[in-house]
Amino acid sequence: MTRKNIGREQIVETATRLIDENNGTRNVTLREIAKELNCAHTNLYNYFGSLDEIYWAVLAEIIDRMLSYMNQPSDTAKTPEDNLFLKLSRFIDFYIDHPGWYRLAWLEPLNGNAPPDVEQAIGRPMQEFAQVLTLACPKPLTLRETQEICNILFMYTFGELGVWINHRTFETNLTVMKENIAGNTKRLYHLLIK
């Protein structure tokens, strides 16, 4: 039985869920996505030219979900600096809770070039983080300084998350690991803004 009413959004939603459940793109094929949608894998070509095009669309979806999670209102962030570290903490939590999405977003190669809408999505986290950083910093920063600080903080966090997600760390306690990353990020931030 084939389902006649599949669409681009359903394909992306299904692939996003499968990548989360499988902890990455391994075993997330056109046939597996189509099986979940109860259609032939060739039907997916009506919406995407290849599996990699689906992965690119999923990447944009993941970034959107991450930003939504990071930007939830909070009563705990009393200062702009609190807000900065709350967002970083939520960034860490998001990817710890979804290691498959982290792998797709930051570790697994994607063939071809990102479509323009995905390129825009890829740039959004850094843009939003730069705005939060600018508000948190006690002294004015140049655009270059802001970009450098954002890049260093993100790269440090990406590295720590990658080590944890790939089981390459000696720390086995998730709470301690999160506290370590958060504490080190704060120290790094304070060193960088001096």
Domain boundaries, the chain: 58-193
- The b-or-e profile of 33-64 (16+ CB within 10 A means b, else e) is bbebbebeeebbeebbeebebbbbbbbbbbbe
The structure's pTM equals 0.90
Q: Collapsing DSSP states into helix, strand and coil, what is residue 3?
A: coil
The predicted model gives 11-32 an average pLDDT of 96
pLDDT of res. 1 = 39
User: Is it the case that residue 6 has pLDDT exceeding 60?
Assistant: yes
To the nearest whole number, what is the mean pLDDT of the chain?
92
The predicted model gives 46-62 an average pLDDT of 96
pLDDT of res. 4 = 55
User: Is it the case that residue 147 has pLDDT exceeding 80?
Assistant: yes
pLDDT of res. 75 = 87
The conformational region for residue 61 under phi > 0 = left, psi -120 to 50 = alpha, else beta, is alpha
User: In this predicted model, what pLDDT tens digit does every residue of 94-129 receive, in sequence order?
Assistant: 999 999 999 999 899 999 999 999 999 999 999 999
User: In this predicted model, what pLDDT tens digit does every residue of 71-91 receive, in sequence order?
Assistant: 999 888 899 999 999 999 999
**For the range 89-95, what are the long-range contacts, defined as Cβ-Cβ under 8 Å and sequence gap of 24 or more?**
89/178, 89/182, 91/66, 91/125, 91/157, 92/157, 92/161, 92/178, 92/181, 92/182, 93/69, 93/178, 94/65, 94/66, 94/69, 94/70, 95/66, 95/161, 95/165
pLDDT of res. 5 = 73
At the topology level of CATH, where does 58-193 sit?
Tetracycline Repressor; domain 2 (1.10.357)
Residues whose CB falls within 8 Å of the CB of residue 191, separated by 6 or more in sequence, listed in order: none
Q: CA 9 to CA 60: how far, in whole Å?
A: 12
Higher-confidence position of 168 and 20: 20
The predicted model gives 186-194 an average pLDDT of 92
In the chain, which residue ranges form alpha helices assigned H by DSSP?
8-21, 30-37, 51-70, 80-97, 99-102, 116-136, 143-165, 174-193
